[in-house]
Structure 1
Amino acid sequence: MLAFMAREMEINVRPIFSTPLLVFTVPDHEQINAQLRRAILEREASTPAYSDYEVVGWSSPHDLSMLDWAGEPLKRLFEPVIEVATQVTEFSERAPGTAGRRPGWQVVEVWSNVQRKGGSNAAHPHPGSFWSGVYYVDVGDISPDSKCGGELQLFDPRGCLPRMLAPYLRYAMPELHDAGRNISFSPTAGQCVMFPGWLFHAVATYTGTAPRISVAFNLDPVLTAK
């Protein structure tokens, strides 16, 4: 309620144009992480880094080859990932006869990243994929106080416009204080983060000594012909 000229008015505040950020902990992640950590570090030691201008660190090719060399633990990881994507997505009214139904999902790209001291990822989106995500095998020395960096940074899709137009003002609602800013997410091992592929994101420079190991992926819907 707002006191106004000795009267009260009810203001209904509804944050609009929200961007979904899905965060969940994968079941049995301790066992999955132990196996993935071993496979990824062995791959890093034996294979040159994939050429990627965005990455400071080691990265495997952005394709499906990791499904072969990482094997069973990677397949177990994607079981809950696919389930989450299915639960939170449905066909729109523009899909005749399927509106409200939920599509199936498939992994179209998956790759691993290993970042050591000085590693980072420049800001980028994942064009062409509805859902993108990252799973944390080992967060190294990442901590909530951000002393060692390595956080996942997510950027307001409206860019800096809200702050450029009125840098001395902000909305008087805590849930809207992030307008025009980037959000830093400090992960823990076993967590998976999913977001729309068009959302710009980055990895802050990592200054820890233990390796920061993650698995990135893109998902597309399984569309069947009529």
Structure 2
Amino acid sequence: MPMSQIKSLFVTRLYRAALSEQGVAIDANELEASCYSIAEDDEAGQDWCEENGYPGYTSYASLTDLPWRFPIFQDVVTALDKHVAAFAEDLEFDLGDKELKLEDIWINILPPGGVHSSHIHPHSVISGTTYVAMPEGTSALKLEDPRLPMMMAAPTRRKDAREELRSFVYVAPEVGEVLLWESWLRHEVPMNMTDEERISVSFNYAWG
């Protein structure tokens, strides 16, 4: 009889890298200045945030052409295309004759006290964020085990449980990093407890 064994199944992958790792240099200061410039001029986005009680600013509901407005965003997309292709290869997707293509990209400026509540990104395949300004001690990205709703009778995990067994994982990215995950993975940004704004650029990639 073989010896007992335990292995992991149905793994949830998280991709983390420097945005510049794929050979495309991004000026962090220029990117931050561009985010603020767009936010200042985007009256439709400001109005949407106010009407919907959205903390700070997002261009999600107002602008669809960031790479056209500022060349640095085109550089960001060029880098992201390569990162997403690398992640898709790791996931062993069979894409056939189609590609994963950028669906949308938007700016998030989270003020002190602001939160982005738990959500997923429907109709996309890969989602992610690259980080522009991360004050020391600001919110990490909180990722939720996608099986959690089916664990209603399970005990809670020990506080020192291995990372892959935890119900929630917190990832504290640095400026210039990019994180990618499959779009069905529920995530949130807890309250920004610092006195400075947290700036990120998020995006979705779709198939076909």
Range of TM-score over shorter length: 0.7 to 0.9
Match of 1:47 among 25, 42, 45: 42
Instruction: Give the TM-score, by structure 2 length.
Output: 0.82
Instruction: Name 1:134's counterpart in structure 2.
Output: 129
Match of 1:14 among 7, 10, 14: 7
Q: Which has the larger radius of gyration?
A: 1
Out of 20-29 and 113-122, give the one that drifted further: 20-29
Distance 1:31 1:109, change over 3 A: closer
Q: Is the 8 A contact 2:124 2:205 kept in 1?
A: yes
Q: Deviations over 1:41-69 (max 9, x none)?
A: 12222334263658422111345222222
- Offset of 1:187 from its aligned partner? 1.0
Instruction: Name 1:106's counterpart in structure 2.
Output: 101
**Partner SS, residue 48 of structure 2:** coil
Instruction: Name 1:123's counterpart in structure 2.
Output: 118
**Partner SS, residue 88 of structure 1:** helix
Distance 1:117 1:79, change over 3 A: same
Instruction: Name 1:56's counterpart in structure 2.
Output: 55
Aligned residue pair count: 197
Specify the code of the residue in structure 1 equivalent to 2:148: G
Match of 1:151 among 114, 121, 140: 140
RMSD of aligned alpha carbons: 2.8
1:1-226 superposed matches below 5 A: 10-27=3-20, 31-48=26-43, 49=46, 51=48, 53=52, 55-62=54-61, 64-69=64-69, 71-89=70-88, 90-92=92-94, 98=96, 103-142=98-137, 148=138, 150-162=139-151, 164-167=152-155, 174-178=162-166, 181-221=167-207, 223=208
Task: Return the alpha-carbon distance in structure 2 between the equivalents of residues 74 and 166 of structure 1.
Answer: 45
- Offset of 1:160 from its aligned partner? 4.5
Task: Return the alpha-carbon distance in structure 2 between the equivalents of residues 82 and 121 of structure 1.
Answer: 25
Task: Return the alpha-carbon distance in structure 2 between the equivalents of residues 167 and 56 of structure 1.
Answer: 35
Q: Is the 8 A contact 1:29 1:190 kept in 2?
A: no
Task: Return the alpha-carbon distance in structure 2 between the equivalents of residues 30 and 87 of structure 1.
Answer: 18
Task: Return the alpha-carbon distance in structure 1 between the equivalents of residues 182 and 53 of structure 2.
Answer: 19
Specify the code of the residue in structure 1 equivalent to 2:174: T
- Offset of 1:176 from its aligned partner? 4.2
Q: Unaligned regions of 5+ residues in structure 2, if any?
A: none
**Partner SS, residue 36 of structure 2:** helix
Q: Is the 8 A contact 2:119 2:188 kept in 1?
A: yes
Distance 1:173 1:209, change over 3 A: closer
**Partner SS, residue 77 of structure 2:** helix
- Offset of 1:168 from its aligned partner? 5.7
Instruction: Give the TM-score, by structure 1 length.
Output: 0.76
